[in-house]
Structure formats: C-alpha cells, structure tokens
Amino acid sequence: MRKPFVAGNWKMHGSKAMIGSLISALRAGAEQIKGVDVAVCPPSLYIQFAGDMLLESQIKVGAQNVASVAGQGALTGEVSVDMVQDLGCQYVIVGHSERRSIFDETDEVVAAKVGVVLEAGLTPILCVGETLEQREAGVTQDVVAGQIGVVLQKLGVSAFNNIVIAYEPVWAIGTGKVATPEQAQSVHAFIRSLIANEDSKIASNLIIQYGGSVKPENAAILFSQPDIDGGLIGGASLDAGDFLAICKAAGEACSE
Ligand code: PEP
C-alpha cells in the first residue's frame, strides 16, 4: 500500500516573518498529519531558515528547483543539488510548468535535473501535465507520455523507484479550475500504466501526486481516487489551516 505524500510549493513567496508564522502554525497543528508524508518547498534563500524551524518535526523540506549540473561551478545565480542537500533538503521539485514555460526548460533539461537529484540521493518530484490547448486537442496522454518518456529513456525505469511524479494540468495551476476527480484519475492511471509497461512492481509503488488548485474543499474526493497518492499544493500551502486540512484529507482518504 502506498503512503500518500503532500508537498507545499511556496513558489516565490515568503519572508522571515511570514515563514516564521506559517511554520509555527504548521507545527501547532501537526497532530493532523497522520498516515501521510509531508514536505514544504520554500524559496532557496529560506531553506535553511525553514529547515531550522522544522527540526525534529515530521515535515520535511524540499527545494523548488536546482541547476542541471551538480557540484560547484561558474554558473552565476544558480543553486546546485549539493547545496540544497547541504541545507537539509530531501526533495526537489523538477520540471514545474512555470519552469518549463517561463524559463524554457525542455524535457531534456528536466531529465538531466532528475538525474542529478537522484545521484545526490534526493527525491525528485517530477512535474508533468498538459496545457488547455493540448487537452482540447486530445493529446494529453501524448504530452505526458513524452515528458515521462525522456526520463525513462535517459535514466531507465529503475530510476522511478525513487521518483515522485506530480501530475499537474497546466490549466488547473493557480487558476482555481481543478480537474475533476475522473479527469485526474484517468491521467494518473495512464501514468501508472506507462511505468507498468516497463516494470509492474515499480509502477505499483510509484507515488503520483495531483496538483492544480487543490483546496480543503476538493482534496478528499481527489485523494480518494485509486491512483492519486496525495498532492503538490501551491496557493493553499501558504495557509497553514488549509495545508493541514489537505494533509489530513490525504491521510484519511488513503487509509480507507
Ligand atoms: C503548483 O504550483 O504546483 C500548484 C499546484 O499550484 P496551485 O495549487 O496554486 O494550483
């Protein structure tokens, strides 16, 4: 049985004051976190600060992005996986649609990032998903298969022992337009089948999060779908009450 995983993507939000009160509230409500793994992904500059505040809590820390090469080097403005690991991160979000569309990250760059994250012993949260135009053109499966296919080709199916996939329809991110449970389940099942074509055991253990306007009101129904194993949460992760309610819904839905 898969343990659900909920991660908060804080994007470019936060200050010491805001993060201080958010984490204090998360820690105060931590009894709601049962039967679910939880992480928060602050902006890189605040990883240390957030990590220190989360010491000895069950909430882990992740990064939102890393460079596609590891170690150190002449790459002004970049942050390497070794650096976020040094600060205590266990997860790295890779290939978020904002990175793909705004920062022109190709499937190849995303696959390289997944590779460096795995090599460092951290868990990539590999984001995939279609735009509205692609959904309307009926090519959702082709898009998702292509995004995952490059990683499969470059790293092999065994890499998926240590990868979390986040299915995030681009049209649902930050828009308030959530995929219906049926729409999400259908793509999640397709993603699992893609991996099962290569290795059924790896596929049945694979954590596939849903992301895109998850809120306390829609979390339970989404997480009760058989192939949805928690969520990647943007906006609602900035509100401790909402994020804890979503974590609680994941723990309850997946224990049924
Ligand atoms: C995200 O940014 O990964 C996300 C899912 O955002 P939101 O929950 O705000 O739609």
Is 13 one of the catalytic residues? no
Identify the CATH number of the domain in which residue 218 sits: 3.20.20.70
**Active-site residue, 96 included:** yes
Task: State the Cα–Cα distance between residues 78 and 80, nearest whole angstrom.
Answer: 7
233 Cα: distance to centroid of ligand 1 (angstroms): 5
Q: Decide: 95 in ligand 1 pocket, CB within 6 A.
A: no
d(CA 228, CA 254): 9
Burial of 192 (0-12, 13-18, 19+ CB in 10 A): buried
105, 168, 188, 252: the active-site residue? 168
Rounded distance, CA 41 to CA 117, Å? 15
Active-site position among 96, 98, 130, 252:
96
Could you tell me the distance, in angstroms and rounded to a whole number, from the CA of residue 9 to the centre of ligand 1? 7
For residue 226, pLDDT over 90 is answered with: yes
| Nearest atom, ligand 1, residue 235 CA | 9
Give the pLDDT band (50/70/90) at residue 67.
Answer: very high
- Distance from residue 211's CA to the centre of ligand 1 (Å): 6
Q: What global pTM score does this model have?
A: 0.97
User: Is residue 136 within a helix (H) or strand (E), and if so which, with residue range?
Assistant: helix 132-136
Domain residues for the domain of 82 are 5-255
The per-residue pLDDT for range 137-196, each reduced to its tens digit, is 999 999 999 999 999 999 999 999 999 999 999 999 888 888 899 999 999 999 999 999
With pLDDT > 70 as the criterion, what percentage of the chain qualifies? Answer: 99
The dihedral over CA atoms of 117, 128, 65, 8, expressed in degrees to the nearest 10, equals -110
Phi, psi dihedral angles at 95 (to 5 degrees): 75, 30
Helix-strand-coil split of the chain, %, nearest 5 = 50, 15, 35
- Using CA positions, which residue lies closest to atom 7 of ligand 1? 234
Q: Report the number of distinct structural domains present in the chain.
A: 1
Average pLDDT over residues 9-19: 98
